[in-house]
Amino acid sequence: MRYTNVCIEGFAHCLPEEVVSTDSLEKRCASVYQRLNLPEGRLEALTGIKERRVWTAGKTPGQQSVLTVQKLLEQTDFDPSTIGVLIHGSVCRDYLEPATACSVHHALHFPPTGFVYDISNACLGIVSGMIQIANMIELGHIEAGIVVGTESSRSLMETTIQHLNTDLSLTRKSVKSVFASLTIGSGSAAVLLAHRRISRTGNRLLGGAVHAETKFCDLCRSDTDQSGGDAMNPLMQTDSEALMKEGVAAAARCFESFLSETGWTRGDVDKTFCHQVGRVHQKLLFDTLSLPPELNFSTLEYLGNTGSAALPTAAAIGITTGFVPDGSRVALLGIGSGINVVMLGIEWQRTLWREQVGGICWTENGLE
């Protein structure tokens, strides 16, 4: 998978204001902790996640996605009349139909001649949307496109806590498959891609590789399909250890193809943004890929796993706060349940927008 005409103009993100600490979640699960004699601090110790955020009750994914795209357009100063496709790529959506992208497109007054649709690929929805837009640009179908997604974890968090406190059949072994749901956070991210002839950045998307190990499709699975509003009462079952092991193994196979497609060596990779799952997962991934962990920008400590928004949110924060110097070779390393792996390579030349995010800024010593 190689591109010659595709540039990434920018990443944007929005975060909820309400912060939920891991400590507070464990206190709400006190009954199951006491019944199963689980040690306090277990969740943060296993994942490295100190807190996550949730949207205000009643806010739909589409409503927030509109705001995130508006922020993206402001940061890049891009003419919306040239947008030829709008994709909504998060797990969460407003309704089963129509596509959430339709209401976002309408609110933004985008051109009526463009493509408008949703895609779903677990935690790789937004990255998968990037590939579809890049293909359209490379084929000459469109000049530019945006993929956006908003993940909302409030309903999953509340349903999981209720389940933990009321299901007396849970054991120390079976409870493991439920705890992964408490790592999920809320967030929103958007990416703008454009043909190089109208690009102001020259941030070339070189291409990348994909790899699927669908025999492991049952390692992380939600309930049957439901809409994404407040009435949703989802539960998820996740074999975290097996998913981590098999996901990293799939990533290792994909990474070799990624290096071949981009023409890079491991030493050519300057910075990375990966899907944000947990501390142990990140360490195993970078050990397996033989990449220095300091190349990666981590947000999981204070955002948790924000699904499809995780990787592009990390990129948005890292790039706009100075983690990526101009001229860097950037690798996007996406792993999602299914198991699917998507890896993309970018020659980053110019950042159009710099900011300090929520009191957090990047320095030589990391996030402060």
- Same structural domain for residues 29 and 173? yes
Give the pLDDT score at 135: 98
- Same structural domain for residues 186 and 64? yes
Rounded to whole angstroms, the Cα distance separating 308 from 334 reads 9
Would the pTM count as exceeding 0.95?
no
Question: Do 104 and 62 meet the contact criterion of CB atoms below 8 Å apart?
Answer: yes
- Same structural domain for residues 57 and 91? yes
Read off φ and ψ for residue 250, nearest 5 degrees.
Answer: -65, -40
Residue 77 φ/ψ region, left for φ over 0, alpha for ψ in the -120 to 50 degree band, beta for the rest: left
Give the pLDDT score at 247: 84
Residue 296 lies in a domain: yes
Distances (CA, A) of 312 to 162, 166, 299, 317, 318: 31, 36, 11, 9, 10
DSSP state of 322: T
- Same structural domain for residues 25 and 172? yes
As given in the structure block, the two tokens for residue 54 are: 């949730």
Q: How many domains does the chain have?
A: 2
Q: Say which CATH number the domain at 48 has.
A: 3.40.47.10
In the chain, beta strands by DSSP E? 6-14, 18-21, 51-54, 83-88, 115-118, 144-151, 187-195, 204-212, 220-222, 236-238, 271-274, 328-336, 340-348, 362-363, 366-367
> In 3-state terms, what secondary structure has residue 289?
helix
Alpha helices in 199-342 (DSSP H): 240-262, 279-289, 300-303, 310-320
Q: pLDDT per residue over 189-239, tens digit each?
A: 999 999 999 999 999 999 999 999 888 777 676 665 454 545 555 666 666
- Same structural domain for residues 175 and 82? yes
Rounded to whole angstroms, the Cα distance separating 104 from 85 reads 12
- Same structural domain for residues 228 and 297? yes
Read off φ and ψ for residue 253, nearest 5 degrees.
Answer: -70, -40
The total of other beta-carbon atoms located within 10 Å of residue 299's CB is 26
Question: Do 175 and 32 meet the contact criterion of CB atoms below 8 Å apart?
Answer: yes
Catalytic residue among 123, 220, 254, 274: 123
Q: pLDDT per residue over 320-366, tens digit each?
A: 999 999 999 999 999 988 889 999 999 999 988 876 544 444 433 34
Residue 275 lies in a domain: yes
Residue 163 lies in a domain: yes
Rounded to whole angstroms, the Cα distance separating 346 from 365 reads 24
Give the pLDDT score at 230: 52
To the query of whether residue 97 is one of the catalytic residues in this protein, the response is: yes
Q: Which residues of the chain have pLDDT under 70?
A: 219, 221-240, 355-368
Residue 250 lies in a domain: yes
- Same structural domain for residues 174 and 209? no
Catalytic residue among 97, 241, 256, 294: 97
Rounded to whole angstroms, the Cα distance separating 228 from 234 reads 9
The total of other beta-carbon atoms located within 10 Å of residue 218's CB is 11
- Same structural domain for residues 304 and 358? yes
The pairing of strands 115-118 and 83-88 is parallel
194, 226, 256: which is the final residue of a domain? 194
Residue 7 lies in a domain: no
Give the pLDDT score at 354: 72
The total of other beta-carbon atoms located within 10 Å of residue 200's CB is 14
Residue 248 lies in a domain: yes
DSSP codes, 188-220: EEEEEEEETTT-SS--EEEEEEEEE-GGGTTSE
Residue 210 lies in a domain: yes
To the query of whether residue 7 is one of the catalytic residues in this protein, the response is: no
As given in the structure block, the two tokens for residue 114 are: 């463009």
Rounded to whole angstroms, the Cα distance separating 9 from 77 reads 10
> Which range marks the domain in which residue 97 is found?
18-194
- Same structural domain for residues 145 and 256? no
Give the pLDDT score at 353: 80
- Same structural domain for residues 264 and 183? no
- Same structural domain for residues 212 and 307? yes
DSSP state of 268: G
Rounded to whole angstroms, the Cα distance separating 208 from 258 reads 5
- Same structural domain for residues 171 and 249? no
151, 171, 194: which is the final residue of a domain? 194
Residue 5 lies in a domain: no
Rounded to whole angstroms, the Cα distance separating 280 from 189 reads 25
133, 166, 194: which is the final residue of a domain? 194
